[in-house]
Amino acid sequence: MSNIQETNTTISKIEEMEEINGTKETKEIEEIEEIDETKETKEIKEIKEIKEINSKTYITESDISKLSPNGIKYLRFVKGDTIRNITGSSYSKNVTFDDIMNYDDQMLEDDHAFIQWLFPTFRPSQFNENAPVLEMSDILILMNDYDVIDCITKAKNKMIKYWGLVPFNRKRVELLNGHNGLRLSRFIECCGLFSIDIVYIMGVIDFSIKHRYIFPYCENYEGINRPLWYIRYIETKKMMSKLV
């Protein structure tokens, strides 16, 4: 073999080694980057979880001692206790909050004794005498508990979907012309009392009324005929602005 051939062979081997080392190095770099990225993602996730935990506030034993018997009854329901309704359909005789969240549309329509538990107010229910009737002092305490707000928010999201408000469904919205209209009044009042944002939902209701999908019962309020839902909404906003 000539010197030139030997030199070329040597160069080829060097190039092969460089290519192998380069590939190996690239692979190692990619693995390191992947590990770093996974580690970073995990750290970010942990930070978010810590922030979420820190953002959750719960009422203290001292606060609980100030609740009325109905306030304590509702808090226990929120924390997972089983409710035992005297009235209503067989669905809600012995149920938890999670059980109600698993109701299908037919169960939501047929049962008249769950809505008072999902959206408590200071008004007694003519359909469920066992449901908690809160005092304003209860509401001012309970609104500072994460689980309470979380449950009302989850219940809100379930019911606005059922009523066809979000996402908008004209056929389902027409459900509000029946007994669901009374449910909506309670829903609006409860969300107002607990400072749950429903501004967008009120806009959808207004749109539905203007297009005559809904024919609400109206009363005179400050010289204007307004649906009962709006009156409850306005009164609740005024009330809470004075108290909170």
Q: What is the pLDDT of residue 78?
A: 96
Q: Are 115 and 156 in contact (CB under 8 A)?
A: no
Asked which of 135-139, 154-158, 217-221 is least confident by mean pLDDT, the reply is 217-221
Biggest CA–CA distance in the chain, Å, is 110
What's the whole-number mean pLDDT along residues 72-96? 83
Q: What is the pLDDT of residue 30?
A: 60
Would you kindly state where each structural domain of the chain is located, as residue ranges?
1-55, 61-243
Which residues make beta-bridge pairs with 225? 220
Can you give the pTM of this predicted structure? 0.73
Q: What is the pLDDT of residue 237?
A: 76
Higher pLDDT among residues 27 and 143, named by residue: 143
Grouping H, G, I as helix, E, B as strand and the rest as coil, residue 202 is helix
Task: Quickly list DSSP for 158-188.
Answer: HHHHHTTTTTT-HHHHGGGGTTHHHHHHHHH
Using the predicted structure, report yes or no on whether residue 25 has a pLDDT greater than 70: no
The rounded Cα 145 to chain-centroid distance in angstroms is: 14
What average pLDDT does the chain have?
82
Nearest to 69 by CA among 132, 154, 115, 137: 132
Q: 172-229, pLDDT tens digit by residue?
A: 999 998 889 889 989 999 999 999 999 899 899 989 988 999 887 777 777 777 777 7
What's the whole-number mean pLDDT along residues 152-167? 97
Nearest to 228 by CA among 191, 194, 192, 181: 181
Nearest to 70 by CA among 151, 157, 141: 141
What's the whole-number mean pLDDT along residues 72-81? 96
Alpha-carbon distance 104 to 18, whole Å? 65
